[in-house]
Chains A and B, each alone.
Chain A
Amino acid sequence: MYRVELDKARRRWRTYLMAAALGGIPVLIVIAVKLSPPTPEASGDAPPFLLQIVRNGLFAPLTGLAVIQPFFLPLAAGLLSGDAIAGEAQGGTLRYLLVRPVSRPRLVLAKYGAAMTLLGILLLWVVGCGALVGGVVFGFGPLPTLSGTTLGAPAALLRILAAAGYILLGVSGIVAIGLFVSTLTDSGPGATVATVILGIASEICDQIPSLRAIHPYLPTHGWLAFTDLFRFPVEWAGMRAGFAVSAAYTLVFLAGALASFARRDVAS
């Protein structure tokens, strides 16, 4: 079933649309920086990564990841997970899958696996596009870490891939929430929008200081901890906490999705 899901995604325009949009972001950044290189004086509020691109193409994939994570990633995750069950229900194909028969738990888990796989591929694609275009335009060099040391280009690329991996683990909680919402409704767009709003609301709450008490329990808490990979030595505590939160949301909401889907009457 998991393979069937991936095969369906492969033949779907929206997959390529998402890839084009996400892969375009690091490319756009490189083009923008090339056309008007930031100067230290003029870049008071520019992200620190942007300043570095001119010196090292490796910053392009890293900036790409940093830029898609807060908005485009929850959007893609919401689309892939929210539409997963609800979209099939809306299109009427859900009943034909279930009488094939595909057991309900298997369908939910296959949808989760396929959504995570596609998000992983999209993240790799962003890193790949960024590294390629950044490398061609600016060349590769050693990457300065946040602690002042430097990393050789191959080691730096590995760290960037590790960052993509951490970002993927972080979004798993949102995917599980999306699947749960998806089992509650017959409207694919409805479930998608609800999931995206939840994800972004969680990020906003995470930024509001007076809500500090709930920060450690937000599904997106710790998303930015991937920057700790670029310290020397690597600071694991933030990522460990982020992983724990995401894993907890994944377990709870996948269980919720399985339970709610098992009880549901498929009358669509």
Chain B
Amino acid sequence: MTALVARGLTKRYGRTNVVDGLDLSVERGELYGFLGPNGAGKTTTIRMALGLVHPSGGEVRLLGEPVAPGVDLDVLERVGAMIEEPAFYRFLSGRRNLEALARAGRHPEDVRRRLSRIDEVLELVGLSEAASMRVKAYSQGMRQRLGIALALLGDPEVLILDEPTNGLDPAGMREVRGLLRRLAGGGTTVFVSSHLLAEVETMCDRVGVLSHGRLVAEGPPGRLRGGAECLRIEVDDASRALGALAALDGVDATADGRVVRATLHGSATAAWVNAALVSAGVAVSALVPERESLEDVFLSLVEEGRVPS
């Protein structure tokens, strides 16, 4: 069974489609990165998936159950979520905030289960010490941690987190990434949105790139880069080097002074290029792989998304 499915999901505000016929499918146990620049429709998608916002069209299902405002949302008992920044009652302590939300359920057994997990989740996010402080006095990082604790409170099967590492320092970010990996390893489905590539690249099994409300690319982070690899080669004689490379299959080369740039396709490798240059009598003083950065891929995907197809 899939954890989260969207079919033709659309949200229109005025004349713009903030989410535009989105098709999405997240398998159980997967750590899925939902990537997109600010304003791409990530949060609106998440709000529709949690029954906070009415879709203008299409449908979304969580753990097989249809979700929309007004339908029975019992399935959310099995889901933990953080939507945009965390929000708490400022006049209550961290622990009392978790208690208030733990008690807010309908089923007594779920309430008991959540109440019994409060210490555990506070420990997990490193807030045990600060649990009795009023949230008013929390730093942004502490609020973020408490938000993650709240999402984990119900021991959810699906975790939906909107920019979970916002406001954390680098150590905190690494901690959270490690925590999410462990949860996914334990069978929890984790759906995490971000506008930071590096974040999802190091952590996710699969990444979907959202631009203007549409999914413009999807796949494992490695494959998202595209196949092309680029080499920056410094040589003594650029024109002889170009001649040697022209004879090779799957290599496109251009020269700029004594620097040659070669783009490799198919089975072409850097070692092969180097051997060809040396046997042609070209002195190679440097050969550096210049991988097209994910940043570039991302920006080009987003650019493409902007052009109406």
| A interface residues, Cβ below 8 angstroms from B | 1, 3-4, 7-8, 11-13, 91-93, 95-104, 106, 262-267
Known: A4-B104, A96-B83, A101-B105. 7 other contacts (CB 8 A): A8-B92, A93-B89, A95-B52, A95-B83, A96-B101, A97-B101, A264-B69
* Chain A positions within 8 Å of B77 at CB level: 101
- Least Cβ–Cβ distance between B180 and chain A, in angstroms: 19
A103-B73, A104-B69, A262-B70 are contacts. A98–B105 as well, Cβ < 8 Å? no
B200 contacts the other chain (Cβ, under 8 Å)?
no
CA separation between A12 and B105, bound complex, in Å? 22
B104 touches A102 (CB 8 A): yes
* Chain A positions within 8 Å of B86 at CB level: 92, 96
CA separation between A181 and B92, bound complex, in Å? 26
B233 contacts the other chain (Cβ, under 8 Å)?
no
B87 touches A91 (CB 8 A): yes
A91 touches B70 (CB 8 A): no
A95-B87, A99-B81, A102-B105 are contacts. A265–B96 as well, Cβ < 8 Å? no
CA separation between A262 and B70, bound complex, in Å? 6
A12 touches B100 (CB 8 A): no
| B interface residues, Cβ below 8 angstroms from A | 44, 47, 50-54, 69-70, 72-74, 76-77, 79, 81, 83-92, 96, 100-101, 103-106, 150
The 10 closest A-B pairs by CB, nearest first: A92-B87, A101-B76, A266-B52, A101-B73, A265-B53, A100-B104, A99-B50, A93-B87, A4-B103, A99-B81
A92 touches B85 (CB 8 A): yes
Closest to B147 in A: A96
CA separation between A40 and B290, bound complex, in Å? 100
* Chain B positions within 8 Å of A93 at CB level: 87-89
* Chain B positions within 8 Å of A100 at CB level: 76, 101, 104-105
Which of B47, B76, B90 interacts with A266 by CB under 8 Å? B47
* Chain B positions within 8 Å of A11 at CB level: 91-92, 96
CA separation between A13 and B88, bound complex, in Å? 16
A8-B92, A99-B76, A104-B69 are contacts. A1–B104 as well, Cβ < 8 Å? yes
- Least Cβ–Cβ distance between B238 and chain A, in angstroms: 58
- Least Cβ–Cβ distance between B60 and chain A, in angstroms: 14
23 contacts between A and B (CB under 8 A): A1-B104, A4-B100, A7-B103, A8-B92, A91-B90, A92-B85, A93-B87, A96-B83, A100-B76, A101-B73, A101-B76, A101-B77, A102-B105, A104-B70, A106-B106, A262-B69, A262-B70, A264-B69, A265-B47, A265-B52, A265-B54, A265-B69, A267-B52
